Amino acid sequence: MRVSTTVILGLLSIALAVVTAWLDREKSTGKSAAASANVLVRFDPEIVDRIEVAQGTKKTVIERLEGSWFFKEPEVDRVDQRAVAALFDELNHLTIIDRISPSEADQTLAQLGVAGDRSIRISLGGESDDGELVDETVVLGDSAPREGSLYALLTDSDEVLGVDGAPRRWIEDPLATMRDRKVLSAPVETIVQLGIGRSTGEVVLQRNLTPPQQDWAVAEPRQAWADRGKVD
């Protein structure tokens, strides 16, 4: 066998292995990933930039702006970033523990809380830079008989699912549970001026940022500050 033929066969084998691995790769998000993990939904939190929560006539909209989350409806305010992360974590780990067919259920969807005024519909949307989409909508119902579980429904299915988790505590009243309660949103170390207004006048505090004393510097072959302690 010629050397060129051996090289060509080797390259074909490598290409075939790469294509096979690419076709067999498991996606970490989406319906197939959720089915493999036996969870309600599985999405990438970094892609989500919009959250809509609806219950009855009430609607709350939360959006990500330059890396931070804010309420957009029914009022504008800051959202606690840790609360959003906790909500996403719970939604991504709602393990399915029961499946209930409407035709076999003794209760209606409204009685299970996945329809009517007690149901909470949460929609997640977003798109990554490379075009990957997040478009998930789930309906959360009443608590199920098993402790720490509830009924849920995917909008593209009429099968009621019993899931292990309690995300309703975050979204039954989002304005109360997810609002950022901190007076200042900026890190303390970034604040250089503070104004305090009173009826008797205004007091302004300003931080003086002075660089550390540097007696020695490296001049060649490049310029940089030298460690004073090591020079001493």
Domain presence at residue 10: no
Which residue has better confidence, 28 or 96? 96
- Looking at the chain, the whole-number percentage of residues with pLDDT higher than 70 is 80
Which residue has better confidence, 130 or 174? 174
Least confident interval from 2-16, 96-110, 198-212: 2-16
**Long-range interactions of 72-76: CB distance < 8 A, separation 24+:** 74/175, 75/175
Amino acid of residue 143: S
d(CA 138, CA 122): 6
Domain presence at residue 196: yes
User: Can you give the CATH number for the domain in which 56 is found?
Assistant: 2.60.40
Residue at which a domain ends, from 133, 153, 177? 177
Domain presence at residue 199: yes
Residue at which a domain ends, from 152, 177, 202? 177
Domain presence at residue 19: no
Let me know whether 168 and 55 are in one domain: yes
Domain presence at residue 143: yes
Q: What residue numbers bound the domain in which 212 lies?
A: 188-231
Question: What are the tens digits of pLDDT across the range 11-65?
Answer: 666 666 555 544 444 467 778 888 888 898 899 999 899 999 999 889 999 999 9
Domain presence at residue 44: yes
Let me know whether 41 and 101 are in one domain: yes
Let me know whether 160 and 212 are in one domain: no
